[in-house]
């Protein structure tokens, strides 16, 4: 079996601090390791206790997130240190990421050259390339999930977070989608195309007047580089995006291919120079980012990533047995008594 259980309480080992963020199923809080004084982040996830309940996550879903994080040890991916669990809650002790979201960091600047933007995109690509080689797809790549380790240094490190929707594909990766093309990594690459498009122009590529129009644009892969918003963008950058925002999934560049694209890895000095002389559309990017904070304009684009993940899930779930559980009340445990019963789960790799 995967894990050895040990009776230890999270609060015996860590002092729980302030809330850093929250998601659908719980909070992320700063924690401090009592033995060393080192600061980490604790992701507290509510676990569902009966199949029919809508509160909390299925334990299996949480276990998948843990197993995936455990398999990923890369400088551009949030590291997992420890896991505690009780019947009602799972706590992931992870690397503390204190630089905030990449988009907020950029929006606070006065200008950003393509070269500087590329440095960030390259780091995202290195993280993606690493996880894809391990047959893991993130499936929820969006601006909120791209953070920086620290913002008070000249070249901050990208950290990809939130593996709550990530999937591990069977070894030997013979996964075929309904249309017969390898699908799982294509969704992350599409998301990266959208992120790059937005980063350079401050525009969302498929955004229509209405959600319906946006959806039609996505389905038809209907987008363009309008001269107004892309007036400073290099042709190389557009070529890069164009090779990601392709309808046919098998024709999208892989992360490995992206890292070799001349926009990311220039072949000549002329190519390198044109990148440093071009800059992102900062005025429009700031506007996009401010609106993003209000959750208005871009959700639809990311909803489509989830859609392609759903199609994949339908395929993989068909073979799994749905286990039935005894239904118990989710209100049963109070905050205090389930916290007390949290036990530590030793990671098999450590
Ligand atoms: P969602 O419901 O959006 O999928 P989630 O419950 O899976 O979210 P995360 O996205 O992992 O939770 O985290 C929620 C927020 O907490 C993040 O947007 C981020 O602001 C903050 N956060 C997550 N991980 C860390 C970390 N390691 N260090 C600092 N802050 C973090």
Structure confidence at residue 334 (pLDDT): 38
Start-end of H helices in the chain: 10-13, 59-71, 102-107, 114-133, 184-201, 211-219, 235-242, 255-260, 269-277, 282-293, 299-317, 335-340
Number of C-beta neighbours around residue 53 at 10 A: 14
ipTM confidence score = 0.96
- Determine the Cα–Cα distance for residues 315 and 313; give it in Å rounded to an integer: 5
The angle formed by the CA atoms of residues 263, 268 and 272, to the nearest 5 degrees, is 50
- Does any ligand 1 atom lie closer than 6 A to the CB of residue 62? no
Q: 22 C-alpha vs ligand 1 centroid, how far in Å? A: 6
Write down the pLDDT at residue 316. 57
Torsion angle of C-alpha atoms 236, 182, 127, 285, degrees rounded to 10: 50
Considering 82, 104, 119, 140, which one is annotated as catalytic?
A: 140
Q: Please give the Cα distance from 238 to 196 (Å, whole number).
A: 10
Residue 146 is given by DSSP the state E
- Separation of alpha carbons 169 and 135, rounded Å: 5
Residue partners of 333: CB distance under 8 A and separation at least 6: 87, 88
pLDDT score of 52: 76
First-to-last alpha carbon distance for the chain, in angstroms, is: 15
Dihedral sign, CA of 188, 190, 192, 194? negative
The finding on whether 162 has its CB within 6 A of some atom of ligand 1 is yes
CA gap 153, 150 in Å, rounded: 7
Q: Assess whether 140 carries a catalytic annotation.
A: yes
pTM equals 0.86
Measured by CA distance, the residue closest to atom 20 of ligand 1 is: 21
- Residue 17, ligand 1, Cβ within 6 A: no
| Distance between CA atoms of residues 21 and 278, nearest Å | 35
On whether the CB atoms of residues 201 and 176 are closer than 8 A, the answer is no
What is the spatial distance between Cα 79 and Cα 21, in angstroms, rounded to a whole number? Answer: 17
What is the C-alpha to C-alpha distance for residues 33 and 78, in angstroms, rounded to an integer? 18
Give the Å distance between the CA of 101 and the centre of ligand 1: 10
Residue 20, ligand 1, Cβ within 6 A: yes
| pLDDT in 10s for each residue of the chain, 350 residues | 355 444 578 999 999 999 999 888 889 999 999 999 999 999 999 998 777 777 788 888 999 999 999 999 999 999 999 999 887 889 999 999 999 999 999 999 999 999 999 999 999 999 999 999 999 999 999 999 999 999 888 789 999 999 999 998 866 554 444 443 357 788 999 999 999 999 999 999 998 888 888 888 988 889 999 999 999 999 999 999 999 999 888 899 999 999 999 999 998 998 889 898 899 999 999 999 998 877 644 566 777 777 777 666 666 555 443 333 333 334 333 344 444 445 566 554 43
43 is in an annotated binding site: yes
SS3 call for 90 = strand
- CA-proximal residue: ligand 1, atom 21 (nearest): 21
Q: What span, in angstroms and rounded, lies between the C-alpha atoms of 237 and 232?
A: 10
Nearest to 343 by CA among 85, 15, 16, 92: 85
Q: Whose CA is nearest to atom 6 of ligand 1?
A: 23
The encoded tokens of residue 275 equal: 């990148």
Q: Given this model, what pLDDT does residue 152 score?
A: 85
């Amino acid at each position: 079996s995967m894990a050895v259980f040990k009776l230890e309480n999270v609060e015996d080992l860590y002092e729980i601090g302030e809330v850093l963020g929250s998601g659908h199923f719980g909070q992320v809080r700063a924690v401090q390791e009592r033995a060393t004084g080192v600061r980490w982040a604790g992701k507290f996830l509510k676990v569902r206790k009966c199949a029919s309940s809508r509160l909390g996550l299925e334990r299996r879903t949480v276990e998948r997130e843990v197993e995936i994080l455990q398999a990923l040890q890369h400088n551009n991916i949030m590291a997992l240190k420890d896991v505690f669990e009780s019947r009602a809650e799972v706590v992931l002790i992870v690397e503390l990421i204190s630089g905030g979201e990449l988009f907020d960091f950029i929006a606070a600047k006065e200008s950003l050259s393509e070269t500087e933007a590329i440095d960030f995109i390259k780091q995202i690509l290195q993280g993606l390339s690493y996880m894809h080689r391990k047959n893991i797809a993130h499936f929820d790549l969006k601006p909120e999930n791209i953070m920086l380790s620290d913002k008070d240094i000249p070249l901050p490190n990208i950290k990809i977070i939130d593996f709550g929707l990530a999937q591990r594909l069977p070894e030997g990766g013979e996964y075929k989608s309904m249309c017969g093309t390898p699908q799982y990594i294509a969704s992350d690459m599409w998301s990266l195309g959208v992120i790059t498009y937005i980063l350079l122009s401050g525009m969302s590529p498929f955004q229509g007047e209405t959600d319906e129009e946006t959806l039609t644009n996505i389905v038809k892969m209907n987008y363009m580089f309008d001269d107004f918003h892309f007036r400073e963008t290099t042709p190389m950058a557009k070529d890069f995006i164009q090779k990601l925002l392709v309808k046919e999934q098998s024709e999208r560049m892989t992360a490995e291919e992206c890292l070799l694209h001349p926009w990311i890895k220039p072949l000549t000095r002329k190519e390198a120079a044109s990148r440093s002389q071009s800059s992102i559309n900062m005025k429009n990017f700031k506007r996009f980012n401010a609106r993003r904070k209000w959750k208005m304009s871009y959700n639809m684009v990311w909803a489509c990533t989830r859609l392609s993940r759903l199609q994949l899930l339908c395929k993989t779930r068909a073979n799994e047995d749905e286990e039935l559980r005894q239904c118990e009340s989710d209100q049963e445990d109070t905050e205090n008594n389930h916290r007390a019963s949290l036990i530590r789960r030793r990671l098999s790799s450590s």
